[in-house]
Amino acid sequence: MSQAETTPRTIGQQETNMSLDNTSHPGRTRPEELVPSRYAVRIGEIDVLVVSDGVLPLPTAMLGHNADPAVRAAWLNDMFLPPDAFDWSLNVVVVRSGGQTILIDAGLGLDPNLNLPRAGQLIKRLEAAGIDLSSVTDVVLTHMHMDHIGGLLVGGVKDRLRPDLRIHVAAAEVKFWESPDFSHVSMPPGFPDALRATAKRFAEEYRSQLRLFDEEYEVAPGVVVRRTGGHTPGHSVVRLASGGDRLTFAGDAVFAVGFDHPDWYNGFEHDPEEAARVRIGLLTELATTGEQLVATHLPFPSVGRVALDGDHFRWVPVFWDY
Ligand SMILES: [Zn+2]
């Protein structure tokens, strides 16, 4: 079984005083941080750290734009959530395996035009966790929506990253953003333009560092990124496996509402029918294997398992080892 790591552990050669742990680091944590912003688990020999990039307020209609509004309102009421808008979590994961330090997604970043001041916390929270940007050897992108790539576009970040950084992303994703189709999404005004512009800027700034894969690629021992499509054509999940333990980072294949209503179309899905098929297939698989699940927009720290409950799914958070 995996367990939270509570003692410092040597990882890699140049990071002898760093660990992925749940302990506080006096002097590094900002006084305004009232709750911990990271949570560590071990998957066999692989270290996993979930880091919160903050939260992103979004209108509730985006949870299921094909749903009956009365049924959607009832679900929100059952979940004790406000009717019109609520904060979505933004989770990023750092993985260490085989001497590599891998950042899975990069959060929203800090675009002043977006006026989303509670998101884009990733860089300072990586620092608070003792993770230097120059120690990151690989980035894996589940897809190129701005809430997954924006952190790499924050001023000064690229200069602090290694020049030989590898950024793994599905070839279909990069191709999609050359001429993206927004005809099936349901987003607040302004979002499509912001998503287009951010993906374009990212592809331009990091083109020489992109390492494209078609369907599947093993980034490090036991760390495999696999394309699912659906949410975007190149959307991918990351499967971790070591010593009999397993954990899947599902990116945007799974949202909090997706356990009760996996067939609801999320407003950010570019092919919502395919996204629903991907979600149901993945949740069914995870319920069968009992492996751990982390997803970008599940409530932090987003570590849990999936149970089958009759004909729908149930989210079972892990008991925090803290
Ligand atoms: Zn997202």
- pLDDT score for 35: 72
| Residue 196 CB-density burial (10 A; 0-12 exposed, 13-18 middle, 19+ buried) | middle
CB neighbour list of residue 164: distance below 8 Å, 6 or more residues apart: none
- Give a yes or no: residue 114 inside a domain: yes
What's the CA-to-centroid distance between 63 and ligand 1, angstroms? 12
- Give a yes or no: residue 97 inside a domain: yes
What's the CA-to-centroid distance between 265 and ligand 1, angstroms? 14
What's the CA-to-centroid distance between 290 and ligand 1, angstroms? 24
**pLDDT 10s digit of each residue in the chain, 322 long?**
344 433 333 333 333 334 566 655 544 545 566 677 999 999 999 999 999 999 999 999 999 999 999 999 999 999 999 999 989 999 999 999 999 999 999 999 987 777 788 999 999 999 999 999 999 999 999 999 999 999 999 999 999 999 999 999 999 999 999 999 999 999 988 899 999 999 999 999 999 999 999 999 999 999 999 999 999 999 999 999 999 999 999 999 999 999 999 999 999 999 999 999 999 999 999 999 999 999 999 999 999 999 998 878 999 999 988 7
- Give a yes or no: residue 10 inside a domain: no
3-state SS of 10-34 is CCCCCCCCCCCCCCCCCCCCCCCCC
Alpha-carbon distance of 312 to 161, in angstroms, equals 43
- Residue 291: which CATH number? 3.60.15.10
Alpha-carbon distance of 80 to 257, in angstroms, equals 13
What's the CA-to-centroid distance between 305 and ligand 1, angstroms? 20
What's the CA-to-centroid distance between 314 and ligand 1, angstroms? 21
What's the CA-to-centroid distance between 16 and ligand 1, angstroms? 33
- Give a yes or no: residue 14 inside a domain: no
- pLDDT score for 310: 85
- Amino acid sitting at position 107: G
Q: How many domains does the chain have?
A: 1
What's the CA-to-centroid distance between 13 and ligand 1, angstroms? 33
Do 43 and 291 touch, CB atoms closer than 8 A?
A: no
What's the CA-to-centroid distance between 45 and ligand 1, angstroms? 28
Residue 83 is given by DSSP the state S
What's the CA-to-centroid distance between 84 and ligand 1, angstroms? 19
What's the CA-to-centroid distance between 145 and ligand 1, angstroms? 6
- pLDDT score for 2: 40
- Give a yes or no: residue 46 inside a domain: yes
- pLDDT score for 12: 34
- Give a yes or no: residue 1 inside a domain: no
Q: Is the dihedral of CA 118, 153, 237, 252 positive or negative?
A: positive
What's the CA-to-centroid distance between 49 and ligand 1, angstroms? 18
Range of the domain at 269: 20-317
What's the CA-to-centroid distance between 143 and ligand 1, angstroms? 8
- Give a yes or no: residue 11 inside a domain: no
- Give a yes or no: residue 7 inside a domain: no
- pLDDT score for 284: 97
Q: Is the dihedral of CA 100, 104, 107, 111 positive or negative?
A: positive
